[in-house]
Every structure is written in structure tokens, then in C-alpha cells.
Structure 1
Amino acid sequence: MRPKSLLKLEWDAIAGIIAAIVAIVLHFLHIAQADLLLPILLALIGLLFINFLRHSKNNEITAETIEKIHKQIDLVQNSLKESDIELIGPRKLRSENDRFLKEISGDVVFYNICLKMYSAEAMFNGLLRPVFDNPGVSSVCFILDVGQQANWERTITSRLSGHPRRGILREPKWCSLAASLSFIMAEQSESKCVEALLSFWGEPFMTNQTGIDTPRYIFRLKKHNELLPHLESLIQNQRLQSN
């Protein structure tokens, strides 16, 4: 046994128990009288009581220490606020986009999205079709620059003609939009709060391959982000102008 382990033993209690056992054995051997047992037993009880009090005090100190630690942890947790914006790079772009589209519900708005991005069948099936496959989505609205009208029928409506949920697609809002930002905005089905996937036109946020602008980096704006009301205002203004 290691010296440190020996120091942790309750030697006072052990000594008292050994003394009591020895006294009892001596009594049964008729070596010690019965009146000798009473003081030994009383001493043993006293030692055990003192040991109990010491442990009770230690338990109180331990409980107070644990309570202080819990309070400190609560203070740290309260001071750490969840970030309301997340930068998503090329490695996680597809998976995060899929997750976002599966978690949304209600009305979905695509603002200033490059329609040529969906020209390839694989891109359309991976980036847009999941919105229409999502049973929680009730409507899909595109707010687009008038310069993309020529691509609307070929890229979007023709591919959705046989989809059972084709009816949730609203007529697009054609506006004169500056090619600066684009986003997808919708309510999250679990939190019932609006979130958005935001990207900016041009390098380094978008890459242009064979004349098609596709996102390279996007921002996920989570609930209560200060940019969300501004994006909602952009949507309302463009809807009013297109009517």
C-alpha cells in the first residue's frame, strides 16, 4: 500500500474498533472483566461520533464548493452567447445548404439568385428541388433582376412542370436589382424564426465557371441577426415596386 493511501485511512476509528474487538475477545476468554468493556465501548462510540462530525463538516465544505463551482459555470454559460452568423466555406457549402432547405417551412424567398446556377440538372436537383420536396414549405417566390427573364422558363418552370408540388411556385417578381447580394430567406420549422443564407456577387464569395456564378462562401444568418430586418425590408420594397 502506498504511503499516500495509508494517510487517507481513518486510524482513530480503526484503533477504536480494534480495541473493542480485543476487549470482547479478552472478555470471552475470561481475561478481562465485563466492567472493562463499558469504558472501551463508550470510548469507541465517542471516536465514531467525532469521526462522524468531522466527515459532516467536510461534506458541508464539499457541498459549498460544488455550489460555488455550479454558480461559476452558470455565469460562464450565460456570458457565452450563441453566434447569430456563421461563415460557410466550400467544404460544408453543399451539406449546410441541404440542411437549411430541409429545416425551413412556410414561405421561401429567393432574392437575386443567379438562375444559370440551376441550368445543370444536377445543380437543380441538389440546390432547388429539395425546397419543393419539403412538405413544410407552403410557397416559393423568386425576386429577380429583369435581365434573367430569358432563363426563367428553361431553367425553372419547365423542370417543375411534372412535380406534384408545382403549385407552390409563385409568379416571379421582376425588378431592377443591383448585382451585389443574393439570399434565400425562410422560417425555420423548429424555432419558427426567420433565417437566411446570404451571399455576395463576385470574388471571393462567388466563382464564375463557364459564365455561371455559383456561391463559394455563404453566410448563415441565424435568428435575431441584425441583418435580417434589413433583408426583409428589401423584399417588401421590391414587391411593392414590382406590383
Structure 2
Amino acid sequence: MKRILKYDWDAIAGIIAAVAAIIMHMLHVVEAEVLLMISVVLIALLFLRDLRRERQSEHIEASLHQTEVTVKDILSQLSPPDAVLVGPLSIRQTMEDFSRRARNEMLWFHVCPVMFKRQELFDALLKTAIENPAVKSIQFILDTSDREMWESEVVPKIKRCASKSKVRNTIWTSISGGVSAIISDLDKEGKTECLLSFWGEPFMARTASHNVPRYVFQVQSHSELVGRMVEVVRTACLHKC
């Protein structure tokens, strides 16, 4: 039924009428003047059909334009989120992408050194940043209680990287609280974003051998929280040991 409805019945009816008129003229049933009149009427009907379709097309185009304007207006009124919560299924890819997209200076604040104990995680998260040509320097700001673990598990891995020189000397300080952050400019736009997490459950799963991040907040560049975290890092650097 749908296939039949797709046919252009106006055109089909016109063709049938024209053929019938020609046959009747050949059989001398109608005169040439009548045949001419029929032709004119058919042309007029087809012209009116095209005009009707043109009006319908203009109406559809106007409706689509109005819909587009309405959607853009709705989107313009929606406030983008300050932060996006990233869960276990995509956290590793998100952190790796962050290191790959980073530019200029990267700040790694109060991250857990045990996280880099596994070579696989070190390569995916930190080595990606070290070997990223757009990253000019990497600064770690860590709590003094993690110094032994850092020097025994992470420093040897850093020294094996080709671009190890961009990793600055670690700033050791006394950090209270369980907030950790990775801060950097991203992509060509250079907008500063931040991966924000917290020590302990549920944000970090702790095992006997290593810690594994489970949740992070990807703080967007327009958020005031990025500037606040930069201030937290600067304050911690002022009290280095």
C-alpha cells in the first residue's frame, strides 16, 4: 500500500488523459481544437500541482528553520557542567587521553606513587605525558610521607624514559587532606583543565601491592574550581620541605 501511495498519480492521470485524447483524435472522435484544449488544461493542472508542492516545500523549510532556531536557543540557555565524573570503565582512557592532550606545564599534585608501581599503569599515565612533545615540563608536588615509595618505585622508571629531563625535581611538602589533582593546558586552545580525585574509597581502590584510581572528576576549563586548585598547589609549594 505504501509503495502505491508513492506513485505520482497526478502525472499518471495526465498521461492517461493525453493518450486517450490522442487516440480519440486519431479515430476522429474529437477535433483538433478539443485536443488542444485538453492539452492546455493538463498543462495547467500540472503547473498548479508544482505550485502546491513548492508551497509545501517552503512550509517544511520554514518549519525546519524554526526548529533549528528553537534547539539553538535551548542549548544556549543550558549551562555546561563544571565537572564530569569519570567511572571505572573509562577512567584509564580518560587519564591517558589527558596526558596525551596536555601542553606546556603539567602539575601532578598529591598523586599516589603506588599507582605507578605497575609498569603498565606507569606507561599509560605518566610515560605518555613524559613522551608527549607538547609537554615542556612536569612538576610533582607530593607529601613527604610518600618519598621512599616514590624514589624506589617511580624514579627508576622515569630515568628510563627518553624525555626524562622534562620531569623537574619533586617538590616535597606536608599535605593535609586527601585531594589529588593533575592540572594542565589542553590541546591547541590551551585551556586549563584538571583531573581531580580523592584518596581512599570509593575514589581509589587499594590493594596489597598498589592503588588503582576508580573515579575522577574532569574539571572543565570554565570552572572556578580549576583556579582554586592552582592556588592550592601554589600554597603547598610555598611550604615545601
- TM exceeding 0.5: yes
Q: CA RMSD of the aligned region, Å?
A: 2.9
Q: Does 1:43 align with 2:76?
A: no
Hey, what's the Cα distance between the residues in 2 that align with 1:222 and 1:6?
51
In the alignment, which residue of structure 2 is the partner of 1:30? Answer: 28
- Cα 1:20–1:163 change in 2 (3 A) is closer
1:181 CA displacement: 0.4
Among all aligned residue pairs of Structure 1 and Structure 2, give the percentage whose two residues are the same amino acid.
30
Separation of aligned partners in 2, 1:146 and 1:215? 21
SS in 2 for 1:98: helix
Unaligned runs of 5+ in 1: none
The structure-2 alpha-carbon separation of the partners of 1:182 and 1:39, relative to structure 1 and needing over 3 Å to count, comes to: same
Match of 2:68 among 67, 70, 95: 70
1:17-60 Cα distance to aligned partner (Å, 9 max, x none): 43433332233333433233232233223323332332233222
Report the TM-score, using the length of structure 2 for normalisation: 0.84
Cα–Cα, structure 1 residues 16 and 155, in superposed 2: closer, same or farther, change >3 Å?
closer
Q: SS at the partner of 1:78? A: helix
| Distance (whole Å) between structure 1 residues aligned to residue 215 and residue 116 of structure 2 | 17
Query: 1:231 corresponds to which residue?
Result: 229
TM-score scaled to structure 1, two decimals?
Answer: 0.83
Question: How many residues are matched?
Answer: 241
Q: 1:230 Cα deviation (Å)? A: 0.4
- Residue 185 of structure 1 is matched in structure 2 by 183
Q: Which position in structure 2 is the counterpart of 1:85?
A: 83
Cα deviation for residue 73 of structure 1 reads: 3.0
Q: Do 1:105 and 1:137's aligned partners in 2 also have CA atoms closer than 8 Å?
A: yes
SS in 2 for 1:128: helix
88-97 or 163-172: bigger deviation: 88-97
Q: CA–CA distance in 1 between the matches of 2:69 and 2:228? A: 38
Segment of structure 1 superposing worse, 168-177 or 209-218: 209-218
Provide the C-alpha distance between the structure 1 equivalents of 2:102 and 2:43, rounded to a whole number of angstroms: 69
List runs of 5+ in structure 2 lacking aligned partners. none
Is the alpha carbon distance of 1:52 and 1:132 closer, same or farther for their aligned partners in structure 2, counting shifts above 3 Å?
closer
Q: How does 1:94-243 map to 2 (within 5 A)?
A: 94-210=92-208, 212-242=210-240
Matched position secondary structure for 1:178: coil
Deviation for aligned residue 1:183: 1.0
Q: For residues 63 and 120 of structure 1, do their structure 2 counterparts lie closer, same or farther at Cα, with a shift above 3 Å needed?
A: closer
Q: Which letter maps to 1:184?
A: I
